[in-house]
Structure 1
Amino acid sequence: MSVSDFLAFTKKNKNISPKIRLYLIDKDKHYFINAGTLKNGFSPKLTIANNRDSVLSAFSKMAFLFDELIRLRIVGHSNESDSSELLYLLNLVPINRKIRTFLDWKVFGPEFTRDMSRLFEVRNDTVHCISLDEVTYHPKSKVSLSSMSGFKKFRTDFQKAWKTLLEIYVTEQEKLDFKKLSMG
């Protein structure tokens, strides 16, 4: 059973087990199943405006997917105490350690790991500033997010990384047994 079939079955039957917690990506649509309800997830395309809140919002979506990717690999679709305990622990783990874990697990390649680390340096700087004028991005050479070209480079690299992360997530999600999930 495919993700599409599982979602169609879930929407038709409207009887979703509260024991399932899953972020699902089906083509260009994202869904989140949690506590017996199916909701829309994030947009597959991230729009990032040149302001602090928009940048931090984009990073929070990426960090959410990191945690869901780790959950998927460790507890699968579980929404029981093991899932809650894992989410608690994940909130304590710094993002750079999660990125390194993905490299160790061979989920991320070395180049993508480096790109993610560089992007999340921007997040760390953005958290500790008032304006993006104080933030620099270091892809190959240092660029300021206060310049149009610097912000454009950051946004392009971020959107490319988001697309790659979604592809990685879909690969992991395909390992789930959706037929078994649909049986409760």
Structure 2
Amino acid sequence: MSLPKYIASIKRKKISPNIRLYVIDKDKHYFLNDGLIKKGFDSKLIISKNRDSVLSAFSKMAFLFDEIIRLRIIRYSNQSDSTELLYLLNLVPINRKIRTFLDWKVFGPEFTRVMSRLFEVRNDTTHCISLDEVRYNPKNKISLASASGFKKFSLDFQKAWTVLLKIYVEQQKKIDWNKLEQEI
């Protein structure tokens, strides 16, 4: 069974509450959780030049990090092992997750550096009142308060998001859709 057939199938049936899975099919994203299918994130993130928008974009990226880890360890389970893993994932700092992806060869060295630099912005943004206090360091430090600095950050973030979605889809390809269909 292919992913598009699986998506069509779950739209017609009741989904088991024992399945928790984020699914990307081309530009459509779905989140299967607690017996429901919900719309996921957009393939393109729009980041506005304000603190809340920047933090929201990073939370979506961090969510995908956790979903990649879940896929690798417990696949699509939504039982007690899922709850326990999500609890542990909330305790692990994002820089350790990025390093884990490098160790697992999910991220290459250059993408690891890109993600580390981007998440430095997230760390600074969580500890500030406005973006005036935040610097981004792709090669030289630039202020997110400046139009050119924010534009550079936003473009780099968009590129990283696109790569992360491709990485997620690669991990998702390891799912046996026929087996999952039987568990619905």
TM-score bucket (shorter structure) = over 0.9
Counterpart CA distance in 1 for 2:159 and 2:111 is 10
Corresponding residue for 1:10?
10
State how 1:25-174 maps to structure 2 within 5 Å.
Answer: 25-174=24-173
| Structure 1 unaligned regions, length at least 5 | none
Corresponding residue for 1:181?
180
Counterpart CA distance in 1 for 2:152 and 2:110 is 17
Q: Deviations over 1:26-49 (max 9, x none)?
A: 010000000111000011110000
**Paired AA for residue 169 in structure 1:** Y
| Structure 2 unaligned regions, length at least 5 | none
Counterpart CA distance in 2 for 1:55 and 1:162 is 13
**Paired AA for residue 7 in structure 1:** I
**How far is 1:61 from its partner?**
0.3
**How far is 1:146 from its partner?**
0.7
TM-score (norm 2): 0.98
TM-score (norm 1): 0.98
Counterpart CA distance in 2 for 1:77 and 1:150 is 39
**How far is 1:175 from its partner?**
0.3
SS of the residue corresponding to residue 183 of structure 1 reads helix
Counterpart CA distance in 2 for 1:51 and 1:34 is 31
**How far is 1:2 from its partner?**
1.6
**Paired AA for residue 177 in structure 1:** D
**How far is 1:127 from its partner?**
0.3
Moved over 3 A (4+): none
